[in-house]
Amino acid sequence: MKNTLGYNVRFTLFGESHNDTIGGVIDGLSAGIKIDEEFIKSQLDKRRPQQGIETSRVEADNFKIISGVFNGYTTGEALCVLIENNNTRSQDYESFKNTPRPSHADFVAFEKYHGYNDYRGGGHFSGRLTSVIVCIGAILIKALEHKNIYIGSHIKKCGKVIDKDFSIDCLEEVKSLQNKSFKLLNDLEEKITSEIKEAASHQDSIGGVIQTAIVGLPIGLGDPWFSSVEGMLSNALFSIGGVKGVEFGAGFNFAEMVGSCANDGLILEDNKVKTKTNNNGGINGGITNGMPVVFNVCVKPTPSIAKTQDTINLETHENVKLNITGRHDPAIIRRIAVVIDSITAIVVCDLLKTKYGDDFLR
């Protein structure tokens, strides 16, 4: 099982949903990055469930950094963080031991690991582990901001509700999202909440689209072919459970364009090269061009729903009906935004270290 992301900044994730702790190790960080524990807590708060529209499993997310930090700064050695699991109800999952939940990893995990996988709460496949990504990502997001690089995500779509896109010069929009728990550019929280509650009232769930922008990246990050910026980001983003699509810039809308509309014309502005449009999402030939890197992430509806579903019994080899009980999100679209910010920060730091070396983020 491969649990490590990155080349020169390497992040390893470990733990299971219902074990005592989950955690992560990040190796290759610059020495001298300031650790802002209050900011880490605030980022974890954004991931925490919101009463009425998300799961009733609420964890305190008490984290402990056990290596790699001294006197409030990174030392340059591997940084390891642990987060406690306290609010577990493993008995909720006993009935799923032999009846895999549709569209979860239960069946493939059973087959791949010969039945030795931890099935409680999804085990290692659980979204619970994204709290570690948020914890590590918070350290890196602050480090990037000291270099005037900003990452921000907002809910672009949930059900029938659509938020506006980022502007071509979106720095202030990205900054405006930092302190929001419900990340939107327009005032649509009530409408999206209504969409989620409507799905839940029918014992169902709902998905959506997150739009992310990275502002302030220098020209020249990434490589063509197998280490393109799109490829490295997509690899990380698709590791998040529930992500089923990633598109950069105009994405699939390119299929309906002609070249004269799709191309981003080059201009000089304040003695800097920019593009008049940003259809390519700030990337050409796999390499950043200095414009904001913009991408959309499609998030599927949460597969745990209260409606009766079809599955199989792994022990008796029969077709059976399944009724899922326990605590589940009718939507993860609000909570996943900060996770996307965080894993994006890990990839960006890897790209920056590859180009500029150990001390860039100090």
Residue 122's pLDDT is what? 87
Per-residue pLDDT of 22-42, as tens digits, reads 999 999 999 999 999 999 999
pTM of the model: 0.95
pLDDT bracket for residue 292 (50, 70, 90): very high
Q: Let me know if residue 361 belongs to a domain.
A: no
Average pLDDT taken over every residue of the chain? 94
pLDDT bracket for residue 324 (50, 70, 90): confident
Q: Domain holding 84: CATH number?
A: 3.60.150.10
Residue 92's pLDDT is what? 59
Q: Let me know if residue 362 belongs to a domain.
A: no
Q: How far is CA 36 from the centre of its chain?
A: 21
Structural domain span for residue 340:
4-356
Q: Exposed (0-12), middle (13-18) or buried (19+): which is 147, by Cβ within 10 Å?
A: middle
Q: Let me know if residue 203 belongs to a domain.
A: yes
| Total of domains in the chain | 1
Q: Let me know if residue 112 belongs to a domain.
A: yes
Per-range mean pLDDT, top range of 106-120, 252-266, 318-332: 252-266
Per-residue pLDDT of 92-106, as tens digits, reads 567 778 999 999 999
Per-residue pLDDT of 55-68, as tens digits, reads 766 778 999 999 99
Residue type, 220: G
Per-residue pLDDT of 143-183, as tens digits, reads 999 999 999 999 999 999 999 999 999 999 999 999 999 99
3-state secondary structure of 344: helix
d(CA 4, CA 25): 9
Does the pLDDT of residue 290 top 60, yes or no? yes
Which candidate, 176, 184, 179, places its Cα nearest to that of 154?
184
Q: Let me know if residue 161 belongs to a domain.
A: yes
Residue 56's pLDDT is what? 64
Does the pLDDT of residue 349 top 90, yes or no? yes
Does the pLDDT of residue 125 top 80, yes or no? yes
> Do the beta carbons of residue 318 and residue 80 sit within 8 Å?
no
